[in-house]
């Protein structure tokens, strides 16, 4: 796994890299301190799994930098990281094509959960946008928790939080894909959600440890 991490603060990059190493033991993190440096790295002929961009680093010019990066490396999810967490800023980044928005106030485990979701092909929308009406929130039954899941459902949920698709979940647990789908349907019903995105978000909210 190779991830491009662009932020103008060395300490922030080093801290995030430590968490990224939990995604994969062989993860390689490419560092950049400005948008031009990030674009230069992105345009090299090397595979990338994700790109993390600080919204306010030199050269970004707001969302113009995000658009420039998406144009430079089409097909690679570009994730915005920022200390600015107002809903309008987050929505603007998502509308400009960001695969997710990670507030720098997030806990490390929550950030990993969000990145696993993004790497699986989903989009991560922070709770602050959901609360502001940007996207429907998972309702969840009153007092919703994961305590009502069976052991097998918990195993499926653990792999779901890691960002694995149904086929790979089935291979890991040695069950058919249709059986995985049935377990997911039961999980969604018990948690009061309607999609894997909402289930993973709820797991992160409740501190699920995959």
Q: What is the pLDDT of residues 164-210, one digit of tens each?
A: 889 999 999 999 988 898 889 888 888 888 888 888 888 876 666 55
Helix %, strand %, coil % of the chain (to 5): 45, 10, 40
Residues 84 and 178 in one domain: no
pLDDT over 60 at 160, yes or no: yes
The encoded tokens of residue 181 equal 């789908």
Number of domains comprising the chain: 2
Residues 123 and 165 in one domain: no
**What are the beta bridge partners of residue 31?**
5
CB atoms under 10 Å from CB of 126, counted, come to 23
Handedness of CA 44, 16, 160, 24 (dihedral sign): positive
Residues 112 and 64 in one domain: yes
Confidence at 136, pLDDT banded by 50, 70, 90: very low
Percent of the chain with pLDDT over 90: 33
pLDDT value for 207: 65
Residues 159 and 67 in one domain: no
Residues 114 and 68 in one domain: yes
pLDDT tens sequence across 38-83? 999 999 988 999 999 999 999 999 899 999 999 999 889 999 999 8
Residues 120 and 182 in one domain: no
pTM of the model: 0.66
pLDDT value for 127: 66
Q: What is the mean pLDDT of residues 5-26?
A: 89
**Of all helices (H) and strands (E), which one includes residue 103?**
strand 100-103
What is the residue range of 179's domain? 151-205
Query: What b/e sequence results for 134-161 when a residue is b if at least 16 CB atoms lie within 10 Å of its CB, and e otherwise?
Result: bbebbebeeebebeebeeebebbbbbbb
Residues 182 and 94 in one domain: no
Residues 106 and 50 in one domain: yes
Looking at residue 83, which CATH number applies to its domain? Answer: 3.40.50.2300
Domain annotation covers residue 143: no
Residues 156 and 68 in one domain: no
Task: Tell me which range, 50-59, 90-99, 113-122, is most confidently predicted by mean pLDDT.
Answer: 50-59
Contact 87, 127 (CB under 8 A): no
Percent of the chain with pLDDT over 70: 88
pLDDT over 70 at 97, yes or no: yes
Confidence at 163, pLDDT banded by 50, 70, 90: confident
78-82, 123-127, 147-151, 154-158: lowest mean pLDDT where?
123-127
Confidence at 143, pLDDT banded by 50, 70, 90: very low
Domain annotation covers residue 137: no
User: What secondary structure letter does DSSP report for 194?
Assistant: S
pLDDT value for 62: 84
Residues 175 and 106 in one domain: no
Confidence at 133, pLDDT banded by 50, 70, 90: low
Looking at residue 174, which CATH number applies to its domain? Answer: 1.10.10.10
**Of all helices (H) and strands (E), which one includes residue 81?**
strand 78-82
- Apex CA 155: angle with CA 154 and CA 159, to 5°? 110
């Amino acid at each position: 796994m190779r991830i491009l991490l662009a932020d103008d603060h060395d300490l922030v990059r080093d801290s995030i890299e430590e968490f990224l190493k939990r995604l994969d033991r062989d993860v390689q993190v490419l560092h950049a301190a400005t948008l031009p440096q990030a674009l230069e790295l992105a345009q090299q002929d090397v595979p990338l799994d994700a790109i993390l961009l600080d919204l306010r680093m030199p050269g970004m010019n707001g969302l113009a930098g995000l658009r420039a990066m998406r144009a430079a490396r089409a097909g690679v999810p570009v994730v915005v990281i920022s200390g600015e967490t107002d809903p309008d800023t987050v929505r603007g980044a998502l509308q400009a094509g960001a695969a997710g928005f990670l507030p720098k106030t997030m806990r490390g485990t929550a950030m990993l959960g969000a990145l696993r979701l993004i790497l699986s092909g989903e989009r991560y929308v922070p709770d602050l946008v959901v609360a502001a009406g940007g996207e429907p929130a998972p309702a969840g039954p009153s007092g919703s928790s994961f305590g009502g899941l069976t052991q097998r459902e918990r195993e499926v949920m653990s792999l779901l939080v890691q960002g694995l698709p149904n086929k790979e979940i089935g291979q890991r647990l040695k069950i058919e894909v249709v059986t995985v789908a049935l377990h997911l349907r039961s999980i969604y019903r018990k948690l009061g959600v309607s999609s894997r995105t909402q289930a993973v978000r709820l797991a992160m909210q409740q501190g699920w440890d995959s």
